[in-house]
Amino acid sequence: MITLYEIAERTQTGEKVEEKKWDMDFFKTISELVKKYDIKYPGEGCYINMDDDLAERAFQAGIEFLERMGIYCITTRRRVRLSREEILTAVHEAPTEVLMGEGRDRRIWKQRKVNGNEKLNICPGHHTPFTEDLANLVVSNFAQIPRTDFIEGFNFASVDGREIMGPPMEVYASRRQVGWMREGVRKAGRPGLAIVYYPINTRAEDLIGAMDPDHGLRRTDGILLTLLPDLKMEQDMLSAAIVYEEYGSFKLSGSFAIAGGFCGGIEGAIIEGIAKPIACMIAYRDFIHYTGVEHVHMLNGRQILIPGLNWARSVVNQALNRYSHTICMRWVIPTSGPGTNLCLLEGAMQAIEAPINGMNLYAPRQARTTTNRGQTPLEAEWMIEVSDAVIEQGFDRQGANELLEKLTRRLEGEKPLEGYTITECYDLIHHRPLPEYQEAYISVKKELTDMGLKLNF
């Protein structure tokens, strides 16, 4: 695979391109490839891709797109060109397994098969803001979930009563975050559990400052380094990628595409959704990715359902799992907040998709979250329960499609609910939902069981 040093050189020597021109070329090229490869939404009622030929065409479109566009470095305003051979080498040389954690908490995170029968890897939480007074307790609660393979960090606005402002305080906050994570997993009795640093800021000093084999990020831990939307990279992230590659930590990326922007519709977003994780492998050496297609209206919490979005995610992940070594994750991001029936129903829909399309499960969190309001351990345990039931009952693509159609009918006309803070709906001392949330959980289990997904009571 092409070295990160070669990528660094190309960020300095590639052709100069103004960002506005890049954006216009991005949209134009995707639009051309949607037509060339005949990528079309089959229409209402299709939630899982059934067309294997379409998945292959979409994959070829993603490869051609990355070859034609390259990656845009926003730091230097230069295009990093990639040859087809370099792209395909990355596709086939990337590992299909990543080791993480230490001792009895050591885990292997794997690429999954489409409609596979193995239980999924799990990151149960964070990638959301919490206040420092809850930090250790929240981390400990998520670490107590037995299936947890790693936990990602969180962000916060102040540390030790001081606003996080400027590089010195950011570096300090970075170290405090991983310190809280380390203490939280220790309190849960899982000191070797892998943690992933969630950047306070993308400056190189903030990213590297979390590195500390004794009290911070160990070599068996990870860091989130991701491309920006529209295949854009930063030199600070590349600097951190070089350091962490030598240090030995694993890296993951947020590699989903966003429909409603320069990708255009869901068909265009499929192409970026395939190209982006491959670009992340090349630019930052990310080998674990939360993948697929989202929509701006869901990410800002305005709509629960977007026609064709489930199908578009399905195409992306089937293509990546069949034709590359990409290790995919489904980021479960309901528009409704924790403590509500809708949060669990939306989460169930996304957890059903995951094993069918070959995706591990990652950090369920309200799409438009606020401090202490993004998630509780119940949503994580729920997504595990639902995905396990799909696998154990042997749902195929058609069966999952029918189940998703029933859930869609249930959610039609519903509007996102704000939900509650973690302490308003979850008991962090005894690791259990508060009574009203427990009642909502049982109610949703009954609904899913009536739809045909057998769950234990």
What's residue 457's pLDDT?
Answer: 85
Sign, CA torsion 212/250/248/141: positive
Q: Tell me if 413 is assigned to some domain.
A: yes
Going by pLDDT thresholds of 50, 70 and 90, the confidence category of residue 312 is: very high
Q: Write the CB contacts of 199 (distance below 8 Å, at least 6 apart in sequence).
A: 174, 206, 207, 223, 224
Quick check: 336 pLDDT over 90? yes
DSSP run (H or E) holding 251: strand 250-259
- Count of structural domains within the chain: 1
What's residue 311's pLDDT?
Answer: 98
Q: Tell me if 5 is assigned to some domain.
A: no
Q: Tell me if 50 is assigned to some domain.
A: no
Q: Tell me if 17 is assigned to some domain.
A: no
Quick check: 111 pLDDT over 90? yes
What's residue 33's pLDDT?
Answer: 98
Strand partners, 110: 97
Over residues 26-32, mean pLDDT:
98
Quick check: 265 pLDDT over 90? yes
What's residue 105's pLDDT?
Answer: 98
Quick check: 50 pLDDT over 90? yes
Q: Tell me if 298 is assigned to some domain.
A: yes
Q: Which amino acid is it at 81?
A: R
Map residue 36 onto helix, strand or coil. helix
Q: What is the pTM of this model?
A: 0.96
Quick check: 34 pLDDT over 90? yes
Quick check: 350 pLDDT over 90? yes
Quick check: 436 pLDDT over 90? yes
Full residue range of the structural domain in which residue 322 is found = 97-451
Over residues 7-17, mean pLDDT:
98
137-171 as b/e, with b when 16 or more CB fall inside 10 Å? bbbbbbbbbeebbbbbbbbbeebeeeebeeeebbb
- The label of the residue with tokens 């995919």 reads 328
Q: Tell me if 312 is assigned to some domain.
A: yes
Going by pLDDT thresholds of 50, 70 and 90, the confidence category of residue 341 is: very high
What's residue 321's pLDDT?
Answer: 98
Query: How far is the C-alpha of 319 from the C-alpha of 226, rounded, in Å?
Result: 20
Percentage of the chain modeled with pLDDT above 70: 100
CATH number at residue 213: 3.20.20.460
Enter the DSSP assignment of 16.
B
Residue closest to 220 by CA, chosen among 190, 188, 256, 180: 190
Q: Tell me if 55 is assigned to some domain.
A: no
Q: Tell me if 176 is assigned to some domain.
A: yes
Quick check: 215 pLDDT over 90? no
Over residues 39-49, mean pLDDT:
96
Q: Write the CB contacts of 18 (distance below 8 Å, at least 6 apart in sequence).
A: 77
DSSP run (H or E) holding 41: none
Q: Write the CB contacts of 351 (distance below 8 Å, at least 6 apart in sequence).
A: 330, 332, 361, 382, 383, 384, 386, 387, 390
Quick check: 128 pLDDT over 90? yes
Over residues 244-253, mean pLDDT:
97
